[in-house]
């Protein structure tokens, strides 16, 4: 068995809506039935007993090692604690070759699980050792490192529950919620609207305390100190006991409380200096340590924090009791778990030494041994929810503290005896105000009711009813994708929206090209949705990107499928039939929002069939309004777009909107059939997102079929009185559409300049010139700049083969070089002729044609 390729599908894909690892696996003939390998399953289970059932697809199916790999990769992740359930193995047409798809929640974990699953099978085959426990531990540790922490995770989960899309911007906790101009960003429990000034104030504990005191919020007395001597002076001024802490510390690092002696103060000062250069001394407030969480103008949670401690049983030492406490599965080494492991470090040893104890002491039954003076969860403390006990006056003081500092999300540390009485009545006070507070104590308290604090944080970012989404139209099909994408972009722009657009020509934002090349994949889509100046997105979704990585979004408002026809790129990446193409193209339809639309070509049976998988409603379009599917759909009160005489009509029930084809320049008065279909698709998309009809009319009227608006899409030019048309058509369906279009245009003689893409099947290349040979007098063949794996001259030979017996073609020549071929064809033109140039290097070829036409115009009499 050999894994020949591994891909990460990072969005909805051919197999599911889940993120997944896709591996291409080749099995030798004897490996195509694992049950036939003597002793294999026994050896496999001996190495990994928790692998589960090996026949999830049915007991009657003969399963290969690829199927076992699928089960192993999924089981390894599940044992590591990853919430994964989906997997699938698909046999390709290549004998012994399979596609294995396994869901992941963290890509690095999914990839590693697939690698380890392969190693597990190899060890079972070769009867060599395999440590499954170590592998699961490695995967679990990697998952903890990779996944979003609990604080950020609670906000993301709350956003997802409201339908807000998210994208992780770093491996840490910086996350974007929403798309384009409606996006907001968080970093852990920090909002993008919180100023750096507010955070800087919160870090300066002395400044914070002075501002709070000026606002009438109770705070302990104290100030920064210059050295140990100054610290003792302050301790005498405010009165013992005192607290020593770094002035800009966090997470309780370096904080020592309840200091009652000079010796204790000197030790505390030394500890604090390890975490900061500027040290504060302030009055120690007796009572419990409480954390109050303020979001916006409301208190959303409160917890009483207890320092790390153990309870004696008269049998175990303190060291052993710590080990027992750390066996709690909720405790981990980082912030990814509800609680942190208790550390028996120098600080803890010094704390118990003050009570005459050592790590090897055996506390009596019921004796409480406190290991630290601070109660931070990050140092092993625990928390009890007390949200329902908070007195309104305490809540008001906490909110005042957050607003005084300027924090939208704020952790307010309070020391007092109880939450049931105002601070002033119990000599309590606010000791710290924290930006980016940890949320673990509220999400999963040791005791009491968990609080879903992510919800109010998302509510602070997005008003009720907002989901952070911008209108998103996805476009796919065999032909017409790019023109339709550009048309829809034009309609959005006519409505005054800043449009982000991806297609095979590049990435465009608000009319400016920000990337070039074939940008019809998910990476370009994500970049557009990331851009802060995008109010609406139109994304071309080509087959390659969907196969390679899935979609670059979770769902779209409108999905447009122009056509499938006879398909394209058949024979690549296991897509071998038109039916395979249709299944791939329908991925965007399967991911339409429930309140969205699928805009589908009713005249194409493969596209029309996609209506059954659309979660939203369907708008059918076709030239023939009497098409049975169109008539039925309209009779049921649904939306259709069709041609009636010299107009395009949008109808819903008895309602109609009519746009004359004469008002749509790209159709040349309706004479170019495939452009009429592209326009109908664009109208359906604009209708689906709710654009006004006046805007749609204005947008269509302003879309000119030139090399600026639609490069390489039936661009018409004049050369010495002859008509030159440049187009990027590159498959048999495109040839038929182009022939139909040019036949509607008058011409004395017709010529065509064509090459062929080497990554098409032989019959597809041959068929193109078979079609052209029936409509053109002259054919100029040229060799592509990139032969895509073909031998020199191989594509030309296939093109010439298609011209054998051509009923119309009388002149055929072969030329190496696209521009030389174009020049040759232009020189043969006479006034009244028509020349169709099927360009390969679109931008360069269009520039060359524009220059030649300009030169010819300059010398014309």
Q: Domain holding 727: CATH number?
A: 3.90.190.20
Q: Which of 723, 715, 730 is nearest to 834 (CA)?
A: 723
Owning domain of residue 109: 2-146
CA dihedral 432, 437, 440, 446 (to 10 degrees): 10
pTM of the model: 0.86
Three-state DSSP at 81 gives: coil
DSSP notation for 268-329: HHHHHHTT-SSEEEEEPPPSEEEEEEEETTEEEEEEEEE--EEE--SSS-HHHHHHHHTTST
**Residue 640 shares a structural domain with residue 527:** yes
Portion of the chain with pLDDT greater than 70, in percent: 97
Kindly state whether residue 629 falls inside one of the protein's structural domains.
yes
Kindly state whether residue 607 falls inside one of the protein's structural domains.
yes
Two tokens, residue 402? 């957050």
**Residue 785 shares a structural domain with residue 647:** no
Residue written as token pair 């507070």: 437
Q: How confident is the model at residue 787 (pLDDT cuts 50, 70, 90)?
A: low
Among the listed ranges 446-460, 463-477, 565-579, 846-860, which one has the minimum average pLDDT value? 565-579
pLDDT digits (tens, 9 = 90+) for 106-157: 999 999 999 999 999 999 999 999 999 999 999 999 999 999 988 899 999 9
Which pLDDT belongs to residue 137?
A: 96
Task: Decide which of 265, 283, 301 is a domain's last residue.
Answer: 283
Which pLDDT belongs to residue 58?
A: 54
SS (H, E, C) 183-227: CEEEECCEECCCCHHHHHHHHCHHHHHHHHHHCCCCCCCEEEECC
State the chain's mean pLDDT as an integer. 92
Task: Decide which of 86, 120, 146 is a domain's last residue.
Answer: 146
Which pLDDT belongs to residue 56?
A: 58
**Residue 745 shares a structural domain with residue 652:** no
Which pLDDT belongs to residue 130?
A: 97
Q: What CATH number does residue 677 fall under? A: 3.40.1190.10
pLDDT digits (tens, 9 = 90+) for 16-40: 999 999 999 999 999 999 989 999 9
Two tokens, residue 767? 């068929």
**Residue 511 shares a structural domain with residue 660:** yes
Total of domains in the chain? 4
Kindly state whether residue 255 falls inside one of the protein's structural domains.
yes
What CA–CA distance (Å, rounded) separates 558 from 688? Answer: 6
Q: What CATH number does residue 275 fall under? A: 3.30.1490.20
Kindly state whether residue 13 falls inside one of the protein's structural domains.
yes
**178 neighbors 471 (Cβ within 8 angstroms):** no
Name the region of 187 (left: φ>0; alpha: ψ -120 to 50; beta: rest).
beta
Kindly state whether residue 289 falls inside one of the protein's structural domains.
no
**Residue 726 shares a structural domain with residue 663:** no
Kindly state whether residue 389 falls inside one of the protein's structural domains.
no
Two tokens, residue 838? 């099927």
H or E stretch at 332 = strand 331-332
Higher-pLDDT residue of 239, 293: 293
**Residue 663 shares a structural domain with residue 753:** no
Kindly state whether residue 173 falls inside one of the protein's structural domains.
no
**Residue 140 shares a structural domain with residue 263:** no
DSSP notation for 664-682: -GGGTTTT-HHHHHHHHHH
Which pLDDT belongs to residue 337?
A: 66
Which residues, in sequence order, are CB contacts of 484 under 8 Å at separation 6+?
A: 475, 477, 560, 562, 678, 681, 682, 685
Give the helix ranges, DSSP H, for 48-106. 65-79
* Cis check: omega of the bond before 241, within 30 degrees of 0: yes
**Residue 681 shares a structural domain with residue 816:** no
Strand partners, 815: 782
Which pLDDT belongs to residue 786?
A: 61
**Residue 755 shares a structural domain with residue 828:** yes
pLDDT digits (tens, 9 = 90+) for 344-400: 888 889 888 888 899 999 999 989 888 886 777 777 788 999 999 999 999 999 999
pLDDT greater than 70 at residue 861: no
- What is the arithmetic mean of pLDDT over 408-431? 95
DSSP structure class, residue 38: T
Burial class (CB in 10 A: 0-12, 13-18, 19+), 679: buried
- What is the arithmetic mean of pLDDT over 49-57? 81
Most distant pair of Cα atoms in the chain: their distance: 113
Two tokens, residue 216? 């009438």
What CA–CA distance (Å, rounded) separates 855 from 825? Answer: 16
- What spatial distance separates the first Cα and last Cα of the chain, rounded to whole Å? 73
**Residue 727 shares a structural domain with residue 810:** yes
DSSP structure class, residue 116: H
Burial class (CB in 10 A: 0-12, 13-18, 19+), 502: buried
Portion of the chain with pLDDT greater than 90, in percent: 76
Which pLDDT belongs to residue 253?
A: 77
Two tokens, residue 292? 């109050």
Task: Decide which of 146, 161, 185 is a domain's last residue.
Answer: 146
Among the listed ranges 155-159, 318-322, 628-632, which one has the minimum average pLDDT value? 318-322
- What is the arithmetic mean of pLDDT over 330-346? 76
Which pLDDT belongs to residue 383?
A: 92
**Residue 499 shares a structural domain with residue 641:** yes
- What is the arithmetic mean of pLDDT over 774-798? 85
Strand partners, 432: 413
Strand duo 97-103 + 87-91: pairing: antiparallel
Give the helix ranges, DSSP H, for 313-377. 318-325, 346-353
Kindly state whether residue 297 falls inside one of the protein's structural domains.
no
Residue written as token pair 């384009």: 180
DSSP notation for 247-284: TT--TTTT-EEEE-SHHHHHHHHHHHHTT-SSEEEEEP
pLDDT greater than 90 at residue 645: yes
**Residue 512 shares a structural domain with residue 591:** yes
């Amino acid at each position: 068995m050999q894994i020949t390729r591994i891909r990460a599908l990072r969005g909805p894909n051919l197999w599911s809506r889940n993120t997944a690892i896709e591996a291409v696996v080749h099995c030798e003939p004897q490996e195509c039935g694992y049950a036939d390998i003597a002793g294999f399953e026994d050896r496999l289970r001996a190495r990994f007993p928790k692998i589960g059932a090996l026949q999830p697809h049915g007991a009657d199916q003969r399963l290969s090692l690829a199927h076992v790999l699928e089960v192993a990769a999924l089981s390894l992740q599940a044992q590591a604690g990853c919430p994964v359930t989906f997997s699938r193995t698909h046999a390709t047409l290549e004998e012994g070759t399979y596609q294995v798809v396994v869901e992941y929640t963290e890509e690095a974990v999914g990839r590693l699980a697939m690698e380890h699953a392969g190693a597990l099978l190899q060890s079972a085959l070769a009867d060599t050792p395999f440590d499954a426990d170590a592998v699961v531990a490695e995967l679990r540790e990697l998952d903890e490192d990779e996944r979003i922490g609990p604080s950020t995770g609670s906000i993301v989960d709350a956003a997802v529950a409201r339908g807000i899309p998210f994208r992780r911007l770093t491996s840490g906790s910086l996350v974007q919620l929403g798309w384009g101009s409606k996006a907001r960003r968080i970093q852990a429990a920090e909002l993008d609207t919180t100023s750096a000034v507010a955070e800087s104030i919160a870090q300066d504990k002395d400044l914070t305390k002075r501002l709070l005191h000026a606002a009438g919020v109770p705070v302990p007395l104290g100030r920064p100190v210059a050295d140990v001597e100054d610290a003792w002076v302050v301790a005498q001024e405010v009165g013992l006991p005192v607290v020593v802490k770094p002035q800009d510390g966090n997470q309780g690092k370096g904080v020592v409380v309840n200091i009652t002696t000079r010796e204790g103060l000197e030790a505390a000062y030394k500890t604090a200096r390890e975490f900061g250069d500027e040290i504060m001394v302030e009055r120690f407030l007796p009572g419990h340590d409480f954390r109050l969480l303020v979001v916006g103008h409301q208190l959303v949670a409160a917890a009483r924090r207890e320092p790390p401690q153990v309870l004696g049983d008269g049998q175990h030492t303190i060291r052993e009791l710590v080990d027992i406490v750390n066996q709690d599965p909720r405790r981990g080494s980082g912030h990814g778990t509800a609680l942190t492991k208790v550390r028996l470090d120098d600080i803890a040893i010094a704390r118990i030494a003050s009570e005459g104890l050592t790590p090897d002491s055996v506390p009596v039954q019921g004796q409480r041994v406190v290991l630290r003076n601070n109660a931070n969860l990050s140092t092993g403390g625990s928390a009890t929810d007390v949200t329902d006990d908070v007195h309104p006056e305490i809540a008001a003081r906490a909110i005042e503290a957050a607003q005084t500092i300027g924090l939208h999300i704020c952790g307010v540390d309070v020391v007092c005896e109880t939450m049931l009485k105002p601070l002033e009545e119990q000599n309590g006070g606010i000791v710290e105000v924290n930006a980016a507070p940890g949320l673990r104590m509220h999400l999963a308290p040791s005791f009491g009711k968990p609080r879903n604090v992510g919800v109010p944080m998302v509510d602070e970012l997005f008003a009720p009813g907002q989901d952070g989404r911008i209108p998103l139209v996805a476009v796919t099909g065999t032909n017409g994708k790019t023109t339709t994408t550009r048309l829809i972009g034009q309609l959005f722009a006519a409505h005054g929206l800043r449009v982000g657009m991806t297609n095979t020509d590049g990435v465009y934002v608000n009319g400016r090209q920000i990337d070039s090349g074939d940008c019809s994949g998910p990476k370009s889509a994500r970049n557009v949705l990331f851009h802060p100046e995008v109010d609406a997105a139109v994304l071309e979704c080509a087959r390659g990107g969907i196969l390679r990585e899935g979609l670059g979004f979770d769902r779209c408002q409108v999905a447009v499928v122009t056509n499938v026809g006879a398909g394209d790129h058949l024979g690549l990446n296991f897509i071998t039939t038109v039916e395979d193409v249709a299944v791939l193209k329908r991925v965007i339809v399967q991911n339409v929002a429930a309140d969205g639309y699928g805009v589908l070509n009713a005249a194409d049976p493969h596209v029309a069939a996609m209506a059954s998988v659309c979660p939203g409603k369907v708008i059918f379009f076709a030239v023939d309004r009497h098409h049975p599917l169109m008539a039925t759909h309209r009779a049921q009160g649904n939306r259709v777009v069709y041609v009636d005489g010299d107009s395009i009509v949008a109808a819903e029930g008895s309602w109609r909107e009519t746009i004359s084809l004469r008002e749509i320049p790209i159709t040349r008065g309706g004479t170019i059939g495939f452009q009429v279909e592209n326009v109908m698709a664009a109208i359906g998309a604009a209708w689906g997102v709710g654009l006004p009809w006046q805007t749609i009319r204005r947008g269509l009227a302003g879309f000119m079929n030139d090399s600026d608006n639609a490069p390489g899409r039936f661009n018409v030019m004049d050369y010495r009185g002859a008509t030159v048309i440049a187009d990027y058509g590159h498959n048999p369906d495109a040839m038929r559409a182009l022939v139909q279009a040019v036949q509607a245009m008058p011409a004395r003689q017709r010529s065509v300049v064509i090459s062929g893409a080497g990554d098409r099947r032989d019959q597809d290349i041959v068929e193109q010139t078979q079609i052209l040979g029936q409509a053109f007098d002259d054919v100029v063949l040229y060799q592509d700049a990139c032969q895509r794996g073909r031998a020199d001259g191989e594509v030309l030979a296939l093109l010439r083969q298609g011209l054998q017996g051509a009923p119309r073609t009388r002149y055929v020549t072969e030329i190496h070089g696209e521009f030389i071929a174009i020049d040759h064809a232009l020189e043969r033109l006479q006034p009244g002729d028509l020349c169709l140039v099927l360009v390969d290097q679109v931008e360069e070829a269009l520039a060359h044609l524009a220059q030649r036409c300009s030169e010819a115009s300059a010398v014309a009499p």
